[in-house]
Chain A
């Protein structure tokens, strides 16, 4: 119950709905047993005694009572549902807000699929339990109590005889439940496998077709498809074994009732009406007991779901505003790294190892080095996506930790390695950081990023929808939109993390020219693998294993022995060769 205690904030404020639901639940369960009683009265009092004048009262009374029951059912069910829905509404909002605040570090370790299943399946499980689980448990106990009391009122020995199959039924239910859940899990897993299989096949269809591996893929699919079928049939085998058994045990009660009850009637110690009433009452008990396993299972599952949700809600928001944090004002971008060391987790090697550099406002800095050498880490410390393990990062002479996060990030335009675009129009994507910006500003940014021309060629121009159902753009086009998105922020510091890898060389050069114009008086960081992308930088920092190994301008670095010179030689071999007018001897 600890879990539910912790999640109390979400459902306790709405307890009114729950209480109403339960009160009416009591009422309607009480009324449920009226039908058998009326049946008994009709047979014993009216027909056998011949008091037919009572009939209209009985019939109308019955309809009236059932009408009351109908209203009670409606109120109870509706309020119970609302209790679950409204609690989950609060929970979802809270989860979403929380997820927005969790740091990069959290997402480095979390898988989208896992988070999604928590946000969908676990939330749903929690709702289901609030709406039905609680109430169902209460209803079950109540129904059993009332039904058995009425039965006992008629005849205690008959009640005992009739219900003697119940323990067997309970065992069968327990066994069934124990077996069916793992089986279902296997079915779901197998379905997931089949799904992955098909998805991969379609996503990789070009590869499949280019190597003509269709038959192989069909074979692989058939295996998964067959496995799913087998698992399903196996699960159905469990139903086939237990459902008929449970039904039979229920029916056995009826047989016992008829045999013993019939004898009692013949003896005269039971009336025919009471026997008939018994027959109906038995029906009320059997079904809830079959359902018992399901309800109990719901309870334990919803507990596990609640636990997984709490994990998100209680995750550590490691990076947040300090007290008395000040806003970073726009217009200027001096950056200083003072002996900065970064270690993502204590098991990892140092991503940055005592890095120091100073950048004056308005300069362009190039960062180069192999994958994993620390280039990206440097830029992510400026925006405080991560925090330095040692040393200080200063912007405009103030430690970044003293700024408010929002002002810091609003002043730094970041073009991330993967250019993720949202399901929205191109215009909204470019204006993502400043939703209120005018179309002119958006177009201006797009022009600078060399994206305007291809956007205008699209059927709906800037109103073209992107995203999962929308238009597919090429890698280079996506990158250009991502660049426009950063320019549109009008930032003091612009960071391009390998942002032009998929655009052709000529476009890249155009982008750079445009950028040097926009970024006049502001600071730019460029991470790239191609020398041509960094050549014009005021200073180039060469990274190797988290350290800066060389630094200087392009002209100075090509004369210095080291990684930069090596990269230059490899990349510019091409140029020399191509421009040579004479073909080499073969």
Chain B
């Protein structure tokens, strides 16, 4: 009892949620929506592929007849050498046609499938790209990535082979039926006893097997999640000497994985023997009943041979139909997730009559703006601001006071739920999103560095900038110095998240990026991060260059920035409490005064 408890404790040490629905019931609407992606190819590629499929299927059906009935049953039995050679020549010719048709079939089907996947992925990505920030806030980056990459990939097989194979296999089965019944209805009926069993194996048993493989996959992804995490957290683990405890946990996950695998392989190993057994029973019936039919002179030898060949061809289409059916069920789950994203609408939509403003001046007014992210709590409560072009404004307040929300509203990542925001006198909603956002730069706390060269990263703000412009911008913010010291200077490759750069250096790069973009309005989220003091001084100086001649809204932490601002807005729980410059606010003896005083009082108290 005790040991069970201990075991449970070990296994609950880490938790990875890997449970996701992999399969969904069949849904015609959804399938129709998917199939519509084939439409652009319905004029040429699709019919051509189908034609090739028809040719190869026809040849594969006819050849057993020629060989069985004509070659063996006629030419050879009657000793007609010339007839034999003619037939063999015919067969060779058909194989040649089949060869050519196969080349085009494989090629065109792949082009078709890949084109559809390309279109679908492009559609999804473009759609997601224009969705609002709220969409991204609510989801982890991983879950979005999985849909664009994995869910779409899981449809790849369906579009490349599935849809067309469905046709081929259905035709093949029907063809075999027709031929068998034409040759001998009695024998056909007798042999087809095995068909239901085959269908059952191909759908039911296979599904069960696939389910147990899914369990294996889930266990394996748990194992991999833990491996990945344990590698990343290795330093923590070693400094807290949890190596043995982790090894116990891993052993548990590993055992679970092993057990699930054993279960799956146990089921999996029954599949082939059962299929072969069914085939064997079919062959036995064929031999037994077929021989008696020949004895009764109701069947020719050649016909029996044709029967034997065709019987051997039964399994393939049935098996593949079962596979396509499974693919469809999995595709249902994936496509449901994809369509969920495609049905998502951006919550700030472009106004139909939105106009483009070439050059924004930078006057911003908030008129009694209300906003709430969800219905329960107001993030902004009747906030009015009046910012003149060229001013530097500081927003001060605790976490959750509404500073970031104000910044998000100016760039129109969100629309107010009440009140109005105006830019140079125009309602924000009447300005085209592109012209608005292209003239506002946000310099974020956590600067994202894209993989590529330093130069590319700075150019990100202004794609047509020349190398000189890039270097000028870097010099202006004081980033030039450290960039030149890097192994390849401006052409140094940096990785995602910019591993070779320190936090301060990343900040300077983002300043250069913003300067190059030459926006009219800058929103700056000042970071309290670990930057050594010398770098911090550099950043302060860079800031002065950056803000010159622009409207600046700063979410401020550093006292020097706050003090130098033209106006300070003090926020608390979404309400504007006080505003004015540093001097005015200090004299006012209100919240701001208390804030500044208490910080220093604390410091002195130590």
Contacts and interface: CB of A to CB of B under 8 A. Distances in A.
Contact of B247 (A97, A119, A414, A472): A97
Interface string A259-276: 100110110000010011
B106 A244 contact: yes
A383 B606 CA distance: 29
Interface stretch (A141-149, A199-207, A350-358): A199-207
Interface in B261-286: 261-262, 265-266, 268-270, 272-274, 276-277, 280-281, 283-285
A209 B413 contact: yes
B72 interface: yes
Contacts of A518: none
Interface stretch (A177-185, A439-447, A501-509): A501-509
A244 B606 contact: no
A243 B141 contact: no
B142 A468 contact: yes
A207 B496 CA distance: 13
Contact of B16 (A207, A469, A474): A469
Given A225-B122, A262-B84, A266-B84, A405 B241 contact: yes
The main secondary structure of chain B at its interface with chain A is helix
Contacts, number: 418
A570 B533 contact: yes
A44 to B, nearest CB: 11
Nearest to A72: B273
B242 A78 contact: no
Interface stretch (B200-208, B373-381, B385-393, B595-603): B595-603
Interface residues on B, range: 35 or more
Contacts of A42: 287, 291
A89 interface: yes
Contact of B254 (A89, A245, A433): A89
Contacts of B98: 244, 247-248, 251
A62 B110 contact: no
B284 A59 contact: yes
B173 interface: no
Given A60-B284, A73-B276, A112 B224 contact: no
A401 interface: no
B76 A59 contact: no
Interface residues on A, range: 35 or more
B531 interface: yes
A216 interface: yes
B517 A232 contact: no
B130 A214 contact: yes
Nearest to A67: B277
Contact of A509 (B99, B523, B603): B603
Interface stretch (B23-31, B144-152, B363-371, B421-429): B144-152
A498 interface: yes
B532 A370 contact: yes
A160 interface: no
Nearest to A104: B235
B114 A236 contact: yes
A405 B238 CA distance: 10
Interface stretch (B328-336, B440-448, B469-477): B440-448
Interface string A93-124: 10011011100100100001001100110000
B133 interface: yes
A174 interface: no
Given A465-B15, A498-B530, A502-B529, A258 B67 contact: yes
A571 B600 CA distance: 13
Interface stretch (B182-190, B553-561, B570-578): B553-561
Contacts of A236: 106-107, 110-111, 114
A308 to B, nearest CB: 15
Contacts of A214: 129-130
B233 interface: yes
Contacts of B350: none
B9 A112 contact: no
Contacts of B14: 422-424, 428, 467
B140 A468 contact: yes
A81 interface: yes
Contacts of A422: 14, 229, 233, 236
Interface string A186-207: 0000000011101111111111
A535 B317 CA distance: 79
Contacts of A468: 16, 140, 142, 225, 229
Nearest to A39: B308
Interface in A17-46: 35, 38-39, 42-43, 46
B444 A203 contact: no
B91 interface: yes
B4 interface: no
Nearest to A112: B231
Nearest to B72: A272
10 contacts: A56-B288, A62-B287, A66-B277, A107-B231, A119-B224, A120-B227, A201-B129, A211-B461, A423-B14, A574-B563
10 closest pairs, A vs B, by CB? A236-B110, A70-B273, A501-B530, A66-B280, A210-B442, A204-B448, A244-B102, A212-B437, A433-B240, A100-B243
Given A66-B276, A211-B517, 16 more contacts: A47-B294, A199-B141, A203-B141, A210-B441, A213-B463, A221-B122, A248-B98, A279-B67, A385-B239, A406-B241, A410-B240, A414-B239, A435-B242, A504-B557, A570-B534, A578-B563
